[in-house]
Amino acid sequence: METMHEIAREAINQVPPECRVLPEHTEVIARNADALLSLTPEVINGFYETVYGHAPTAAIFHEGERPMREESLTNWWERTVRGPIDENYWAWMSMVGLIHVIRRVTNPMMLSMTDFVAGYVSNNAHRLNLDPDEQRRLVDALRRLAGMTGSVITWGYDHAVSAALFEVAGMPEALLARLRDAEIKTALVDAREEVGNG
Ligand code: HEM
């Protein structure tokens, strides 16, 4: 498998600059770090109330695990808000993706919860006493951060799955990809019949 830095770079290169976290976005997060950190307990609590409140996500956790998970998410939030959001940060996010694969946290679970965090900030930014332009910039930066976190994590997830299949099947990844595409083409014939044009 490629390194975490490589996986993160590949994912980021696929994201159009219009949607990326650029220096102006890391700067707006950094200069509002104290305001964002004031939301820490409610972001963490809202996150875990949400995942524990839904059977498929609640089923991921072992009994008694919640305090440890709250601690790791608090660590992520503080490290994200304090920065730096640089190459090492995105490599860390690739690894976090792999850590979740082992626990069977799926991409829909990850993507919806990165969106939850950005949405929480968006819904509560009016409480941070910022001027309207700065509030808008901060909400935009968090939305981009969530989007890119999702991109890096899901790309890492797909890599982990195909690299593992490669190891198990002993087949080159390119051949596996061709076989996969052939299967999907067949499945698409049935899919078109099932849903037509929507
Ligand atoms: C915004 C999305 C998420 C972020 C940023 C995040 C972040 C993290 C971090 C930083 C860790 C600690 C990794 C380490 O040990 O170094 C972790 C662990 C974990 N997370 Fe998440 N997480 C997210 C979403 C989820 C979701 C949706 C679930 C389940 C529904 C989940 C379940 C877990 C579990 C079970 C572990 C423990 C993994 C282990 O066995 O070590 N996470 N997460």
For position 75, which CATH number holds? 1.10.490.10
| Residue 123 pLDDT level (bands cut at 50, 70, 90) | very high
Atom of ligand 1 nearest to the CA of 102: 40
**Has residue 41 been placed in a domain?**
yes
- Is 186 inside any structural domain? no
pLDDT in tens, 132-159: 999 999 999 999 999 999 999 999 888 8
Give residue ranges with CB within 6 A of ligand 1. Answer: 51, 57, 60-61, 69, 72-73, 76, 96, 99-100, 103, 105, 109-110, 113-114, 117
* pLDDT digits 0-9 by tens, 10-53: 999 999 999 999 999 999 999 999 999 999 999 999 999 999 99
**How much distance in Å is there from the Cα of 182 to the middle of ligand 1?**
34
Confidence of residue 175 (pLDDT cuts 50, 70, 90): confident
Sign of CA dihedral 142, 144, 5, 153: positive
Q: Would you say residue 88 lies in a domain?
A: yes
List the residue whose alpha carbon is closest to atom 12 of ligand 1. Answer: 72
Residue 143, domain member (yes or no):
yes
* CA distances (Å), origin 139, targets 16, 103, 133, 155: 19, 30, 10, 24
How far away, in angstroms, is 26 Cα from ligand 1 center?
A: 23
Residue of the nearest CA to atom 31 in ligand 1? 105
Give 70's pLDDT tier (boundaries 50, 70, 90): very high
Domain housing 80? 4-172
Nearest-angstrom CA–CA distance, 46 and 70: 11
- Residue 190 inside a domain? The answer is no
Residue keyed to tokens 């920065």 = 83
Number of domains in the chain: 1
Per-residue pLDDT band for 84 (boundaries 50, 70, 90) equals: very high
